[in-house]
Amino acid sequence: MKFRLMSALLLGLAGVAFLCSLGIWQVQRMYEKRAQLDEMTAGISEPAVVVPAVLDPERDRYRPVIAAGQFTGETLYVLSGQPMVGAGVQVISVLQMADGRRLLVDRGFLQDDDKHKALHVRDVTVQGNLMWPRDSNEFTPPPDAKTGLWFARDADAMAAVLHTEPTFIVARVPTGDGIEAMPIDTSSIPNDHWGYAITWFSLAFVWAVMTAGLVWRIRRQI
């Protein structure tokens, strides 16, 4: 009987400790996400500048820039979608500046029915934010060999294909051809970790109560 009592206590304490650790981890993630969102907001709100000659992916991430040049016609399409609109693609085009630099521009969203139409805009001044996205992971399939459709943005891989600098400018205003700009902002990035933390802490409390009840019943039988 004493063995049952000790087993119940140990199991209860281990369960409470494990669930509390998950709650603490979610609180830590909440503060990390908040710091990331604050950094992102601060970067987005800086005054726009002409694209610097030397770029630093850490220092210049989200920096607002202006870049004048020509779209070369070289374009990649990334599978995408918009709420209340449906499926479509994100249009990634090559911008060649007057000094010969070639950068990638995420021009935004094009509905599925329009993704095969020709893009005519060439001379353009892009207003947007610098970014070095790598949305892919080990589960992301490679680009479709038949359609050429990509399934995630990847600055390094796309730059290698299009022979550009591995730098994106995410357009803040439309660049023509009916493409809807998808500017960088924080409104669509959730920070729900506090809710998850409350869930784990609540489960820890329930586990503790159940353990106390079990221990009480075992002690009555001793």
Residue 87's SS3 state is: strand
Give the pair of three-digit tokens for residue 79.
Answer: 């599978």
In whole angstroms, give the CA distance from residue 51 to residue 68. 9
- Quick one: what percent of the chain has pLDDT higher than 70? 96
Question: What does the alpha-carbon distance between residue 66 and residue 49 come to, in Å, rounded to a whole number?
Answer: 6
Give the integer Cα–Cα distance in Å for 26 and 101: 43
- Between residues 12 and 93, the one the model is more confident about: 93
Identity at 151, one-letter amino acid code? F
Token code pair at residue 44: 């987005």
47, pLDDT greater than 80: yes
pLDDT tens for each residue of 50-102: 999 899 888 888 899 999 999 999 999 999 987 777 788 999 999 999 899 99
This model's pTM is above 0.85: no
Query: Widest CA span of the chain, in angstroms?
Result: 87
Q: Among residues 219, 178, 211, 194, which one has the least CA distance to residue 89?
A: 178
112-144 pLDDT, tens digit per residue, is 888 788 888 899 999 999 999 888 888 888 888
